[in-house]
Amino acid sequence: MKASFYVTTPIYYPNDLPHIGHAYTTVLADVLARWHRLKGSNVFFLTGTDEHGLKLQRAAEKKGVKPKEFVDRMVPEFKKYWRLLEISYDRFIRTTDVDHEEVVKKALEKLYSKGLIYRGVYKGWYCSSCEKFYSEDEYEEKEGKKICPIHVKELEWVEEETYFLKLSAYQDQVLKLVRDTDIIHPRGYAREIASKLEKEGLRDLSIARPKDRVYWGVELPFDDRYVVYVWIDALLNYLTGIGYGRDGRFEEYWSVVHHVIGKDILWFHTAIWFAVLLMLDVPPPKKVLVHAFIINRGLKMGKSVGNVVMIDDMFDRYYSADSVRYLLMRLLNLEKDVEFDVELLDNMYNGELADTYGNLVRRVGVLSLKKLKGVVRRRELDEELSRTSREVIGEVLELMDDYKISESLVKTFDLLRATNAYLNKTKPWEVEDPEPSLYNAIEATRIATNLLNPVMPSITKKVADALGFEIVEVDKLKYGGVKEFLVKEAPILFKKVKSRTS
């Protein structure tokens, strides 16, 4: 039976265009989706937009339009960028989708009928950009003002009648899931949440907003004067996306769900989400895969800081989706923030993509056409290249299953470098019988290209077409597996960028 794989991105706030921070998460999720397709699994990949709440309401008001009109205008922009980056999602969910609003209402009804929701008064300091309340030990103080540590802006005092969700009743169960299972990855993040739970506990959460303050949201099914708190609305998208409550595929995909998120929204996706799922009698996610930030000049990218790098900026410099995707994944670090450093990216682009991969493909292409009229038959296999290929396949399989994408790219490039060195050594341009050398070089190029396919879907397809092979499922990938290559052309894959320092 085919294995299944379900991967999600956070649903992004469409109050602004997505930038490379959002692309970082989305490309990571896409690479996992493509990797699992390449492993022959049934894959479902969900992304989308988080459209309700105060932040969106205010963004729309600022533009002088209704919230729905505003988000309707923004969604095509997100879809455009994801198309540009070749994001292969199966569904783009919007929290304003009818089926999602139904799921939110049904879930809230269930929680209410189980006696898990009660009325009360909430008082606290709120950041509308984070859409969350900040406690005394979380906010910062400057000149007597309470400041959001993430957006560096003043918090607002909110005091209102609301409804609470009894998260506290689930504290012990949640702590066990966080501490004693391997759901949260990498484990440093699990320790962080466990220690927060141990220190502060899991407090009941205000899950309603009075409509006279926040009108833009899903109405509470048991009190029409309120809308549902945007984070509860948003988290439930992961259930809606695969047909919760109405589709047989739900069980299949839910049991293998991987939530890819940035570390800023870890608490919501663990403490709060695990408790909500327990309340709904839905099993916890299989994985919450957390990554750190891309930072610029030491700070998380943000409009107020003025250090945002847009997706267009990346395309202007590195031309194609494949190279942008490669560079983002090459930078990827789950544990540590990485600085956006153009010089470093230029060097990776020129040195790895253009000089190593591009050059190799061009060389084997040109030589095959010139020396063998493009027909390269299988000859004796080179032992060393064959062994290196086998090792690289094995290591990449392990690394990818451990979410070590950057490391797996480095490994694959070791094979490409070895192949370039092999060409230098065997010199097919001057020997009488160049076929053994060219066959082995193309074969190793094929193996590497196949492994690079999830990260660079178009360029690898272009290489496969030019050199005359197919991208195959990874378990069918074997050195010497191709009898004959009919090489059609020798494409130039990457145009070099002028490095700022050169």
Give contact residues for ligand MSP (rule: CB under 6 A).
10-13, 21-22, 24-25, 50, 234-235, 237, 261-262, 264-265, 293-294, 300-301
Active-site residue set = 19, 22, 127, 130, 148, 151, 300, 303
8, 28, 264, 430 from 20: Cα distances, Å: 18, 12, 16, 46
**Residue number, nearest CB to ligand MSP:** 21
Least Å distance, CB 169 to ligand MSP, is 23
Contacts of 438 (CB under 8 A, 6+ apart): 364, 367, 368, 371, 372, 376, 428
Least Å distance, CB 196 to ligand MSP, is 17
Contacts of 440 (CB under 8 A, 6+ apart): 379, 381, 382, 385, 386, 422, 426
Comparing CB distances to ligand MSP, the nearer of 300 and 446 is: 300
Least Å distance, CB 424 to ligand MSP, is 39
Q: Which of 501, 329, 291, 321 is nearest to 413 (CA)?
A: 329
Least Å distance, CB 391 to ligand MSP, is 32
The token pair that represents 49 in the structure block: 């937009």
Q: Which of 41, 90, 100 is nearest to 252 (CA)?
A: 41
Comparing CB distances to ligand MSP, the nearer of 190 and 265 is: 265
Comparing CB distances to ligand MSP, the nearer of 10 and 365 is: 10
The DSSP-derived string for 379-435 is -PPPHHHHHHHHHHHHHHHHHHHTT-HHHHHHHHHHHHHHHHHHHHHH-TTTSS--H
Q: Which of 125, 129, 133, 165 is nearest to 150 (CA)?
A: 129
Least Å distance, CB 26 to ligand MSP, is 8
Least Å distance, CB 78 to ligand MSP, is 10
Comparing CB distances to ligand MSP, the nearer of 151 and 417 is: 151
Q: Which residue do the tokens 């395309």 mark?
A: 315
Comparing CB distances to ligand MSP, the nearer of 51 and 382 is: 51
* Contact (Cβ atoms closer than 8 angstroms) between residue 41 and residue 2: yes
Comparing CB distances to ligand MSP, the nearer of 178 and 467 is: 178
Cis peptide leading into 186, omega within 30 of 0? yes
